[in-house]
Structure 1
Amino acid sequence: MRNIRVAVIGAGPAGIYAADILTKEHPEARVDVIERLPAPYGLVRYGVAPDHPRIKEIIKALRRVLDRDGIRFLGNVDYGTDIDLDDLRELYDAVVFSTGAMSDRTLDIPGIDLEGSHGAADFVSWYAGHPDVPTEWPLDAAQVAVVGAGNVALDVARMLAKPADEQLTTEVADNVYQGLKANRATDVHVFARRGPAEIKFSPMELRELAHSPSIDVLVEEEGFQIDDDGQSRISSNKGTRLVVDTLLKYLEAEPTGAPHRIHIHMCQNPVEVLGEDGRVVGIRTEKTEMDGTGNARGTGEFVDHPVQAVYRAVGYRSSALPGLPFDESRGVLPNDAGCVVDEDGFAVTGVYTTGWVKRGPVGLIGHTKSDANETVTNLLADLDKLPAPTATDDLLVRLAERGVDATDWEGWARLDAHELGLGEAAGRERVKVVPREEMLRVSRG
């Protein structure tokens, strides 16, 4: 087997799975997993709500991969700033980009740029303790709208409605806890443009809304439409059936008088964010009806809802990468089964992609594994055509010459232990460190 060096850009699940499969399929491979943050794990660490610890069980498997011989973690290294594609081509046989999707998709309706209108991805980054977002978040709205019909919308609604003290059993960062303590939200309205059989909630996420004794979940009867097509979905799909059953239970339940409420509105399509003096004062929705094909059509009847903040949870989007082609319409690196292609459809030699930046922000962990397997299979099939690296130095040498303070696996182990120690002192499993400089200081020991 040919000895090869491969760089994987992005240390989320997609990149780590690619490194795992590559070193198992080609034992002579040496893989550097390069991450712009000082900590690994991507959206598992920075895209999951702190009160979802069981979802983070995947970190245990990811840790075992990064701890293996043949795989090296390099953190606090930003592609496009600290290194570029020329560096990577000189030092590695191939490069796999797995940079994920961290930005919000746009919602092109009037008023979306008013003060008090936010992207859900930004809010998620804040409450997950991401080091590159402001440490404070405005939480002065009593009535809030969340636009979207997926699990991110439910996470946002739950985090806005749940009292801060109920987060003290989690790894919530101190600045996030203090911010949530000042949260004034009492009513959170979730708007979905389609009906209960078409909504994209997962059964578990939907049930968890009611786990807090401080929250009543209220499903609005108007808009609870199930046509023949919807009934077929319920009959043929267990997940859909469980979601609809849970929505029905919420619909039929009597309110308990809890101090916080999550209202779920279906067949309501947001068409405008209403403002006054530059700030959000409401959201206008158009009532919709199901058209028999799983889609919704407008009825021409509009409703205004008084709210002081709006969160759009309409999906994530990947960002373009310097030196690489980018499909702006789909928000992905253009590729053929993981092989990056240029605007004419020709393969970019030695450049591959996996994860959400490859296929878009859809799918679960199982999809990520099969996705990485496809990319690695094609990379290994191309080995005879890939030019060998022209440079003999190590990436760490170049980074040191440029003054880049890269972290390594031992540094992450120190930061990990430090956070666990903070948690133990507070009677919790972990307390997350947020400021980048503090993360680097702890990593350096």
Structure 2
Amino acid sequence: MKMAIFHSRKWLSRAFSSLTSTPLRVCVVGSGPAGFYTAEKMLKAHQEAEVDILDRLPTPFGLVRSGVAPDHPETKIVTNQFTKVAKNDRCMFLGNVNLGSSVSLKQLRDLYHVVVLAYGAESDRALGIPGEDLKGIYSAREFVWWYNGHPDCRNLAPDLQSTDTAVILGQGNVALDVARILLRPTAELAVTDIASHALAALEKSSIRKVYLVGRRGPVQAACTAKELREILGIKNLYINIQESDLCTSPVDEEEMSKSRIRKRVYELLCKAAIARPVNSPATGQRELHFVFFRKPDRFFESEKKNGYVAGVHFEKTTLKADSGLQLAVETGEFEDIECGLVLKSIGYKSVPVDGLPFDPDRGVPNSRGRVLRNASGNDVLLEEGLYVCGWLKRGPTGIIATNLYCAEETVASIMEDLAHGPLKSTASSPKPGREGLLHLLDDRTVTVLPFSAWEKIDSEEKTRGSIKDKPREKLCSWEELMKVGFE
């Protein structure tokens, strides 16, 4: 496809028209909630700050666009707030700019006074058990990106027709989202912004049984009451929960006394177990099975289709108190669940970049958002001018609003460092900032998409969606997104 390269110099004059001669140059990498909240707080905290938000995708908003379930439109309203930030005269969104291949972290640090990394966690944790590479096994992230139209997973094409059973490993909100999409009537999904390729596959799906499997018990289930209530409320869905799994120990009772959320989740599960019909599910009725106290031991291969998963071999577990936590320990008893689709919802993982201190287990070492090069005893070495926010800072936990408080803390650290920390002297020296970055990207013929390009994509998606009575019809390929952005 032929495409005119977006020459950044054409909009430099507009970009700098309202700025002071020596603004504080701030670069935020990542345009999800953590990135936009950081930009918003930075613009309010420092009246002479110029903030540039970079993202490797042509589209902004990160997991609000590609992670929030299509049947949760109310959660996506926050993009209206982020749009106001992007249109601030002192802010600019630059899409299709990849940290690493388009520009290095070292170059960004040379160009800006402050660099805040908020690019989240775009990889997955592995179980590390035999058979994990069999076909038919996916991470929940991949599946979520597939049905949300993320261009990286447009061609995932999970086979939903060759099996009637799916096993989801994990019982957090993402696991419940995935189960709900598999089990919810497609007529209800058709009026959402779910990707068309996903809707077409779900309409032909043979999946009738979904097992949500957790290592620990119902008291330790990681979901929220709102998400659980929603999936339990799916019309004509057969819910199966073994009442024996709902027996609690004194330690369980203590946990619930300290956590209203855990108590409410447990109560909802108990209510669903009691309300279950005595009879078996009707022919063709969709089923949701909550399975507790099971740890995946290995995946086994189909005898009919070489290289494909045919089920999961589980070891039963029991709970053991350790330092105030209840951990799942093996019992030596095993059982199998046959299935042709496995979705691993066991956690996201951040990806390191050159020049960023990184621990594979703990992520980026930081103190209130300040990236640490080294910390031993009282000797703390800071990466001056380098900060983190969001999942990269605290791990893949929390809801969208959690990033608001996370950003407030990181921006507070930046302002402290500007007032009487390592940034106080360097911030007074001019930095090339946006102008330098745009020249660099221009020289590398990187096609940059500004926020106005996203507005064209947004308008086109809404127009296409209106034809199908949907809020939007997502453009799901890199080629389409780039083409429409430049029309």
Query: Relative to 1, partners in 2 of residues 1:130 and 1:329: Cα closer, same or farther, differing over 3 Å?
Result: same
Query: Relative to 1, partners in 2 of residues 1:147 and 1:244: Cα closer, same or farther, differing over 3 Å?
Result: same
How much has 1:390 moved relative to structure 2?
4.7
Give the Cα–Cα distance (whole angstroms) in 2 for the partners of residues 53 and 216 of structure 1: 26
Cα deviation code 1:254-307 (max 9, x no counterpart): 346362111101112222212233321111222222335522322222111111
Equivalent residue number for residue 297 of structure 2? 271
Equivalent residue number for residue 213 of structure 2? 191
Give the Cα–Cα distance (whole angstroms) in 1 for the partners of residues 338 and 451 of structure 2: 49
Alignment of 1:39-438 (within 5 A): 39-135=59-155, 136-139=157-160, 140-255=162-277, 257=282, 259-276=285-302, 277-292=306-321, 293-330=325-362, 332-343=363-374, 345-383=380-418, 384-386=424-426, 388-391=429-432, 393-438=435-480
How much has 1:364 moved relative to structure 2?
2.3
Query: Relative to 1, partners in 2 of residues 1:367 and 1:193: Cα closer, same or farther, differing over 3 Å?
Result: same
Which amino acid in 1 is paired with 2:23? N
Cα deviation code 1:91-114 (max 9, x no counterpart): 211111001012111112222222
Q: Is the contact made by 1:210 and 1:216 (CA closer than 8 Å) also made in structure 2?
A: no
Give the Cα–Cα distance (whole angstroms) in 2 for the partners of residues 221 and 112 of structure 1: 31
Give the Cα–Cα distance (whole angstroms) in 1 for the partners of residues 292 and 432 of structure 2: 58
How much has 1:47 moved relative to structure 2?
0.9
Give the Cα–Cα distance (whole angstroms) in 2 for the partners of residues 246 and 415 of structure 1: 41
How much has 1:67 moved relative to structure 2?
2.3
Q: Is the contact made by 2:374 and 2:382 (CA closer than 8 Å) also made in structure 1?
A: no
How much has 1:252 moved relative to structure 2?
1.5
Q: Is the contact made by 1:35 and 1:76 (CA closer than 8 Å) also made in structure 2?
A: yes
Q: Which deviates more, 312-321 or 364-373?
A: 364-373
Give the Cα–Cα distance (whole angstroms) in 1 for the partners of residues 396 and 227 of structure 2: 18
Aligned partner of residue 101 in structure 2, secondary structure? coil
Cα deviation code 1:152-172 (max 9, x no counterpart): 111111122224332111001
* C-alpha RMSD over aligned residues: 1.9
How much has 1:25 moved relative to structure 2?
0.6
Q: Which deviates more, 17-26 or 419-428?
A: 419-428
TM-score normalised by L of structure 2: 0.87
5+ residue gaps, structure 1: none
Equivalent residue number for residue 46 of structure 2? 26
Cα deviation code 1:36-65 (max 9, x no counterpart): 111111111111121111221222222222
Give the Cα–Cα distance (whole angstroms) in 2 for the partners of residues 36 and 14 of structure 1: 15
Give the Cα–Cα distance (whole angstroms) in 2 for the partners of residues 110 and 126 of structure 1: 25
Give the Cα–Cα distance (whole angstroms) in 2 for the partners of residues 60 and 347 of structure 1: 35
Equivalent residue number for residue 443 of structure 1? 485
Give the Cα–Cα distance (whole angstroms) in 2 for the partners of residues 12 and 391 of structure 1: 25
How much has 1:323 moved relative to structure 2?
2.4
Query: Relative to 1, partners in 2 of residues 1:288 and 1:85: Cα closer, same or farther, differing over 3 Å?
Result: closer
Give the Cα–Cα distance (whole angstroms) in 2 for the partners of residues 242 and 52 of structure 1: 21
Which amino acid in 2 is paired with 1:49? A
5+ residue gaps, structure 2: 1-19, 419-423
Which amino acid in 2 is paired with 1:99? Y
Aligned partner of residue 123 in structure 1, secondary structure? helix
How much has 1:389 moved relative to structure 2?
4.7
Q: Is the contact made by 2:462 and 2:473 (CA closer than 8 Å) also made in structure 1?
A: yes
Q: Is the contact made by 2:239 and 2:276 (CA closer than 8 Å) also made in structure 1?
A: no
How much has 1:26 moved relative to structure 2?
0.3
Give the Cα–Cα distance (whole angstroms) in 2 for the partners of residues 143 and 198 of structure 1: 25
Percent of residue pairs bearing the same amino acid type: 36
Aligned partner of residue 283 in structure 1, secondary structure? strand
